[in-house]
Amino acid sequence: MATSPSTAPRDDRPPAASPVSLDRANPEAEIARAARAYSNWGRWGADDVLGTVNFITDELRLAAAGLVRRGATFSLAQRFDMDGPQRGWRRRTNPVHTMLDTGTDAVAGNQGFPHGIGGADDVIAMPLQCSTQWDGLGHIFDHGKAWNGRDAARTVTSDGDLVTGIERLARPVCGRGVLLDVARVIGPSVAAPGGAGAHDELPDGFAITAEQLSATAAAHGVAVGRGDLLLVRTGRYARALREGWGDYAGGAAPGLSFTTAGWLHRTEVAAVATDTWGFEVRPNEFDESFQPLHQVVIPNMGLLIGEMWALEELAADCAADGVYEFFLTAAPLPITGAVGSPVNPIAVK
């Protein structure tokens, strides 16, 4: 397997204001330090299979339901079809949807059903990481360890994730959603002057810091806290919608800085989802590495991560009414043993 679909030179990245000192030439040590510092292993017992989703309580969910003011809904899923972002890396294709029966055949009398009834059926073949998705806890390992310290070789085999399969998350992923539209708040000060979308899109390679997350929350008038389903908008998906996918899947993109690991741990959010392919900034911040923030937050922190979410409509609405919190349901399909799942998250305001 190739280690990365993108090898754009680091120099192309705009400077990221990072107040946390990061030794960019020493990923091993930095990753190890963060993994140790922000580990949640054992926090919910040795048998835990939910990770930070444990932070969501019925009380928090009840309070979140109280955020519904208008009854308006927003789907945060991209469309699942052949026009999606995938280009074949790691055998990730776009979804292939085919018909088993059609209206055309019904009208042509080819179906053999009685009394005028006709039907259409269909089939899909898709990677579970092809579009709007949750990364399950079995998606990433750190030095052979899966979530909660388990042996990855015994946890995720050819038979799937035998312990932390995505079906474990079928019920609880529902609660308070908070949108941090970093692109809208920070974008104008960092985008190339005069560039298209400069006002509300972060440039590729832009590493969002903890300070910028906090500043965005402050600008929105929301506080991010325990059990929240946090959505971070970078504007990258808007750019893809406008300019075409290009290398949306695996290429350069804005995203969370490696240095946000502590903030994510401290805030005790239940999940974080972005409008980018890879959640964290691309190219990654170390001279040579691959998704180091994933390596810290999934197997060590037990954090649920969402990728390729479609945040444009919701963000426009939040900008319009100034309300950045809502009730959010984002239940994965309970595919037994899956290390991820496509999802159609629904925000209700």
Measured in degrees and rounded to the nearest 5, phi and psi for residue 304 equal -80, 125
From 40-48, 149-157, 249-257, 259-267, give the range in contact with its own copies by CB under 8 A: 149-157
Among 36, 43, 70, 242, binds its own copies (CB under 8 A): 70
Q: Is 81 in the site for its own copies (CB under 8 A)?
A: yes
Nearer to its own copies, 190 or 293 (CB): 293
- The contact pattern for its own copies, residues 328-347, with x = CB under 8 A and - = no contact, is -x-xxxxxxxxxx-xxxxx-
Among 25, 36, 42, 65, binds its own copies (CB under 8 A): 65
Nearer to its own copies, 201 or 307 (CB): 307
Contacts of residue 256, defined as CB under 8 A and 6 or more positions apart, other chains included, come to 207, 208, 232, 264, 272, 274, 279, 280, 281, 293
Nearer to its own copies, 218 or 316 (CB): 316
From 37-45, 146-154, 218-226, 273-281, give the range in contact with its own copies by CB under 8 A: 146-154
Report how far residue 161's alpha carbon sits from residue 339's, in angstroms, rounded to the nearest whole number.
Answer: 6
Report how far residue 206's alpha carbon sits from residue 128's, in angstroms, rounded to the nearest whole number.
Answer: 27
From 83-91, 212-220, 233-241, 316-324, give the range in contact with its own copies by CB under 8 A: 83-91
Bridge partners, 174 (sequence order)? 329
Pairing of strands 346-348, 73-75: antiparallel
> Which of the residues 88 through 117 are near its own copies (CB under 8 A)?
88, 90-108, 110-117
Report how far residue 40's alpha carbon sits from residue 150's, in angstroms, rounded to the nearest whole number.
Answer: 13
Q: Is 15 in the site for its own copies (CB under 8 A)?
A: no
Report how far residue 309's alpha carbon sits from residue 108's, in angstroms, rounded to the nearest whole number.
Answer: 40
> Which of the residues 290 through 319 are near its own copies (CB under 8 A)?
290-292, 294-295
Report how far residue 334's alpha carbon sits from residue 146's, in angstroms, rounded to the nearest whole number.
Answer: 20
Report how far residue 64's alpha carbon sits from residue 160's, in angstroms, rounded to the nearest whole number.
Answer: 33
Nearest to 181 by CA among 208, 161, 205: 208
Report how far residue 50's alpha carbon sits from residue 259's, in angstroms, rounded to the nearest whole number.
Answer: 24
Report how far residue 166's alpha carbon sits from residue 218's, in angstroms, rounded to the nearest whole number.
Answer: 33
Task: Count interface residues toward its own copies (CB under 8 A).
Answer: 120
As measured in angstroms, the least distance from the Cβ of 196 to its own copies is 27
Nearer to its own copies, 211 or 268 (CB): 268
Q: Is 60 in the site for its own copies (CB under 8 A)?
A: yes
Nearer to its own copies, 61 or 226 (CB): 61
From 27-35, 186-194, 234-242, 260-268, give the range in contact with its own copies by CB under 8 A: 27-35
